[in-house]
């Protein structure tokens, strides 16, 4: 069976969709279709095809990218705080930053969720956009214009555990322990939302090695270990390095504190608020995006046999790429 040709969203007929490889995941509650080598729910697939034909990036746009549950909420918060650090009222802009009142997902629009049905949802002063799309499926203008891309990945075992727990949290019909084993198998086979996970990561890794001036590749574990270093690195990458005055005033350190898991997860908006993307009719509690924020939680969920199986896949996938998951320090 072949992948769907990139026709307009309205031309994505039932007959064409039926030609696509498909699989059921998340205890059969979600059907995924393979397009350009990756797996998508039908609604996202239709939006993606439309974006590929119609979305026009600006050369000043900055795209935050990641697979699902790889530290994306944190990346959004850090990037937003860095980009907007001098924008808001008062002598101390960080003290009035919208991150204190709104969840990161409500501040940076998703390319495939928020923009297709409401372009006005985008703040015209904000250069940041977010997407879970793989590199190969990004709208052509993003690549041709040389838009800046910041990508974050996470060690696969931790990524899967976070992926599982997130959907277990937000699904109406909860999955059982046998579902965990089945979803693990599907994940390892690459049959997860926006999967295969390893391919998603490797595409951006390859782009970052070929075009480091436009693609900044981050590892969740390294950012956790030395957040201050990577905050400065991100600021330089987007063309807004910290000034000597900002360094004296410890602005980078204060951004790290503002965006820490401990601070964000304890804000009222992230404890009790809800997120509703413009495209979706399902509200998700903001607290679902703040579970633990730690490294190595997979040890509490994955058996030794599962670990060995996933590590073997990782070794095979990364062979020859020079990429190593996790911290290299």
Query: Which residues have C-beta within 8 Å of that of residue 69, sequence separation ≥ 6?
Result: 154, 159, 162, 163, 166
Strand residues in the chain grouped as ranges (E): 22-25, 30-35, 38-41, 62-65, 128-131, 148-153, 215-219, 274-275, 284-285
31 DSSP β-pair partners: 24
Place of tokens 């964000």: 264
Beta-carbon count within 10 A of 177 CB: 6
- Among the listed residues 132, 200, 275, 301, the single catalytic one is 132
CB 278 within 8 A of CB 269: no
- Going by C-alpha positions, the residue among 100, 30, 99 that lies closest to residue 68 is 30
SS3 285: strand
> How far apart (Å, rounded) are the C-alpha atoms in residues 160 and 297?
10
CB 115 within 8 A of CB 48: no
Alpha carbon 216 to its chain centroid, in Å, reads 14
CB 75 within 8 A of CB 160: no
Q: What Å distances lie between residue 106 and 99, 276, 320, CA to CA?
A: 9, 8, 39
Q: What Å distances lie between residue 13 and 5, 135, 295, CA to CA?
A: 11, 25, 43
Active site residue 132: yes
Beta-carbon count within 10 A of 234 CB: 24
The catalytic residues are: 132
């Amino acid at each position: 069976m072949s992948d769907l040709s990139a026709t307009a969203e309205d031309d994505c007929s039932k007959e064409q969709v039926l030609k696509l490889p498909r699989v059921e995941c998340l205890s059969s509650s979600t059907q995924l279709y393979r397009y350009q080598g990756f797996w998508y729910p039908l609604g996202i697939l239709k939006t993606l095809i439309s974006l590929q034909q119609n979305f026009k990036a600006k050369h000043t746009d900055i795209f935050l990218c990641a697979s699902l549950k790889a530290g994306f909420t944190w990346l959004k918060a850090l990037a937003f705080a860095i980009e907007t650090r001098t924008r808001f009222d008062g002598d101390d802009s960080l003290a009035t930053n919208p991150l204190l009142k709104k969840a990161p997902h409500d501040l940076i629009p998703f390319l495939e969720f928020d923009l297709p049905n409401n372009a006005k949802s985008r703040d015209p002063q904000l250069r940041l956009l977010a997407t879970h799309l793989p590199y190969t499926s990004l709208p052509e203008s993003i690549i041709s214009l040389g838009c800046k891309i910041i990508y974050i990945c996470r060690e696969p075992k931790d990524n899967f555990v976070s992926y599982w727990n997130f959907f277990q949290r937000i699904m109406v019909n909860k999955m059982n322990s046998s579902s965990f084993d089945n979803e693990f198998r599907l994940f390892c086979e690459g049959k997860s939302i926006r999967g295969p996970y390893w391919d998603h990561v490797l595409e951006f890794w390859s782009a970052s090695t070929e075009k480091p001036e436009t693609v900044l590749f981050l590892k969740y574990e390294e950012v956790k270990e030395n957040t201050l270093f990577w905050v400065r690195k991100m600021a330089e990458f987007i063309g807004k390095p910290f000034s000597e005055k900002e360094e004296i005033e410890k602005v980078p350190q204060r951004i790290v504190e503002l965006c820490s898991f401990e601070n964000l997860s304890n804000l009222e908006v992230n404890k009790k608020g809800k997120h509703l993307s413009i495209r979706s009719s399902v509200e998700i509690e903001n607290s679902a995006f703040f579970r633990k924020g730690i490294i190595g939680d997979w040890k509490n969920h994955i058996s030794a046999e599962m670990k060995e199986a996933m590590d073997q896949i990782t070794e095979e996938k990364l062979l020859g790429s020079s990429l190593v998951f996790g911290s290299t320090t």
